[in-house]
Each structure stands twice: as C-alpha cells, then as structure tokens.
Chain A
Amino acid sequence: MARIENPLLLSIYGSLVDKILAETSNIEEANERLRELGRGMAEQIYLTTEIVEKTKETIMTREDVAKLIEVVYKVLYDRKPTEIDMESARGSVRISDKDCIWCQDVNLEGMRGFGYCEVFSGILEAILAFKGVEAKVFEESCKATGGSACSWNVRLT
C-alpha cells in the first residue's frame, strides 16, 4: 500500500464526494457538481499562489495552455503531470497523471463514467478562464474506476 499524500485533503475531499453522490440523481450530475466545486476553489488558488507570476497574462496557443498546466501542477502538487498530449486530438490538450493525488487509495466498482477527480477539471477550467481562455475540461478516465491513470481533456473552444 503506497504512502498517502496529504491525508487531510483526501479525507475532506472524500467526505465532499460522498455528500455529492448522496445528493445527486445520476453520475453526470455528480461529475458536474465536482467540477463546480473545483471552479469555486480556483479563485482562492489563483489569488494566493504563484500561478500569476509564473505564467503569461494572456494565453494564446496550445503550447501556452500546456505551459500553464505545468505551472498549475508545480504549484499544487510540486511535480509534473505524467504526460501532456497535444498531438492526438486537435483542439484539445490531454493531461494524464499516474499519481493523481485526489483518488489515492480509492476503489470504485460499477461506477464507470464517474470522474472522482472532476474537481481538478473545475480548477483548471476556471484558471484558464482567468487567463482569457474558454475551455471545457472533463475527466476522461480515472484510476478510482479502474483506469491506469487519471486523464483530463482540455477542449479549447
């Protein structure tokens, strides 16, 4: 069993996920509630961390988006994501993380389609909006539901 990073964050987040699952009527609604949670957290993150100093004021290209994602990862998790893919889908940037912090030690059965880590989708979507980029971010696969890594699709509109 791997050592858990940031147990306090995990226990708070875990209770929030439980509460959302109890209150929502379908998985897509639960996913959206978690994204909303992330969007709400993003303002605090943006105003209190070094993201502003370490990134350009406006984001113009997909490379800029990739760079922003790297900075967000460094600031929040002190590391890089496993991969940032700009090749496989035009108009999207894909992030994958084999060591996702949000779903550590979480095992879900029969909940394929549920994005346990959708909170990060919301965080990213809001930070991109602060930078003038309209995007939809959603979790494509999640380790908690059997994926080999957590991955997010940043669809630039």
Chain B
Amino acid sequence: MAGDLERALSKLRFDDQVIGYSLMTKMGRPFVSFSFPDDLFPRVKESISLYKADLRLMTIDTDKGLVVLAPVDDNWILTVLYVPELQLGLAIAKTKNVLRMLEGIELPPPPDEFEESAESNLEVLESIAIQAASTAAEPSAAPTAAPAAPEPEELSPDDFLVTSSTVPTKGEAFSTALSLDSELYSEMKKLYRNFGFDVLMLVDGRKTVGQIADSMFQPTEKVIGLLKWAASKKVVEVPRVDASGEGAPARGLSGRFVKCPKFEGDLSKVRADHVKIVQLCDGTKTTEEIAEAVGVPVPRVIQVLAIYRKRGMKMVGKTL
C-alpha cells in the first residue's frame, strides 16, 4: 500500500506541470504536501467546507495556477496545483489519472492529531495501514479462477486502423504505461518523450482522435502514430485491420477523405420540403449518403444545400 501511494504521488512530483500537491483530510487539513503554497490552503479549505455535502472534482483558478481538487475517498481529498498555462482538460485528466492509481489503495483515516503538511505523515499513514492490515483478515491475494491467459499475439502498429474519428479506449496495459517505473513507460518516453503521456492522459473512451489532437494543438497524424504504437502494446484499444484487409482505408491518408454538409442554422426556419435533407446535415454524412437516406438524387441534395449556404450550411472536410 505504501509503495502504491508513493508511486501515485510521485507521478505528481515528477510532472513538470505540477507546482505542488497536497493530500488533505475531509476537513481541509493538509496531511501530506509537496511544494503546495501555504497561502492557498485557506482558500482550498473554504471550498471544501462550502461543498462538503457533495464534494466532487472541482477546480479553483488562482493567481499561482490552477488548483484541481478531488475526493479520493470519504476521508481524503487530493489537491493539485498546476502551472497556469496548462489547459483545464489536461489538468483534470492528469488528476483523474492519479485518482485511478489511488483507487485500489485502501487509505486509513487520518490520525486524530498530526502535524499539518508534514511529509513524514506519509510514514504515519503507512504504519496505520500496516496495523489495520495486521488485525484484519488477509484479502484474497489474486483473483480466483483467472482464465488461462492466451498466448500473447505479437502486433505491430500497422495492424491497427486509426482515423481522426476513432475513439480510443484504455487497454489492459494502460496503467502500466503511465507508471513511471515501468519498462513500457520508459519505452514510450524514449520514442515519444512526454507526448505519449500527454496523449494517453486524454484517452477516456469518449474523445475522438481528432478531438485529442485539437485539444493538444498537435497534428492528427502524430496522435494517430502514437496510438497505433500504444495499441500494439495493448496500452489502448482501437479497431484492427482484419486479415482480409477490410477495415483498412480504401485509399489514401488515415481514412477516406470526404466532405460532409453541416447545418448550424435555425431548423425552424427551414422550408418544410427541405427539412428531411437539412436535418441530416450533421457533419457526419456525405451528400451521397443523405441522398440515399432521403430517397432523392444527389443533385437535389446539392440544390438544397446551396439554398441554405448563407443561413448556416457549410461543408466540412474530414477523414472517415
């Protein structure tokens, strides 16, 4: 437990974008802190007491940087101070990543009396945990009836199909890749430096590759390259190119380049005989697909798009 806690907190300690952090009690008393400015504690404590009935992950903008506050469990709150220029989404993602590492750790409640913010409190926490563990029943060491692991398949980045609309999810080696002391992390760092870590922080099973690239102001291709490598190491899960080659892009680029109409105007002002076409213009379907769906020839779709081009209709190019 102690090693895991230290590992989780060291992730913050060695992050260049983290100014400081503090593991605080639910009353807002800092228990273990590292470079967290003293003058910010009162403000954090105030926020904790204001929302204590329903405390969730929250952020506080301060002149020293962005504070992200997140409850770890009923007794503890993790507070991290990030550099001011870090994007909000990234700060939240980094904090959530540490929270995930803390998820499996049963932190004992804080002792009644302790010296605030002392790093030695970490040892106090350890000793309380060890004492509690020695009097409690041993938890089962390993999951029972674990299925026999299949022979690991050697995969290469080219075995995967990743486009800007792919939504990557976390793979079985995701946590390992983010552990500072793992070989996988070292390999990723060697190939991609901090870029790999930053991309993985944004993988949440909801964001597309394009959204990840946009939020990082990085080329989509670079993100795709990283994710393909990560998929070959089971760090993330993305679609595979199957043996028949189906699923591989028919031609060119990382996907088929298409132009899709997107209507951002007021649907209530669209003529009744155009509504069926216009409401399908959501930026995901080509004019051919819309024509087929509505049962009209493609020129008719183009005709309708042209009518609304000055009223919120635009063509969006993307790869699918």
Interface residues of A (CB under 8 A from B): 1, 18, 21-28, 30, 105-114, 144, 146
Docked complex Cα distance between A22 and B283 (Å): 19
Residue pair B316, A27 in contact (C-beta under 8 Å): no
Residues in A with CB closer than 8 Å to B164 are 109-111
Residue pair B252, A111 in contact (C-beta under 8 Å): no
Pick the contact of B315: A21, A107, A111 (CB < 8 A). A107
Indicate whether B254 reaches chain A with its CB closer than 8 angstroms.
Answer: yes
Residue pair B318, A18 in contact (C-beta under 8 Å): no
Docked complex Cα distance between A105 and B314 (Å): 8
Residue pair A27, B253 in contact (C-beta under 8 Å): yes
Residues in B with CB closer than 8 Å to A112 are 210, 213-214, 217-220
Pick the contact of A110: B251, B256, B310, B318 (CB < 8 A). B318
Residues in A with CB closer than 8 Å to B186 are none
Judged by DSSP, the binding face of A is: loop
Residue pair A21, B253 in contact (C-beta under 8 Å): yes
- What range describes how many residues of B lie at the interface? 20 to 34
Residue pair A25, B253 in contact (C-beta under 8 Å): yes
Indicate whether B297 reaches chain A with its CB closer than 8 angstroms.
Answer: no
Docked complex Cα distance between A114 and B213 (Å): 12
Give the shortest distance, in Å, between B72 (CB) and chain A (any CB): 35
Residue pair B165, A110 in contact (C-beta under 8 Å): yes
Residues in B with CB closer than 8 Å to A30 are 253
Give the shortest distance, in Å, between B197 (CB) and chain A (any CB): 19
Residue pair A107, B219 in contact (C-beta under 8 Å): no
Given A21-B252, A24-B252, the answer on whether A111 and B317 have CB atoms closer than 8 Å is yes
Docked complex Cα distance between A24 and B251 (Å): 8
Residue pair A110, B253 in contact (C-beta under 8 Å): no
Indicate whether B121 reaches chain A with its CB closer than 8 angstroms.
Answer: no
Given A22-B257, A26-B254, A30-B253, the answer on whether A113 and B210 have CB atoms closer than 8 Å is no
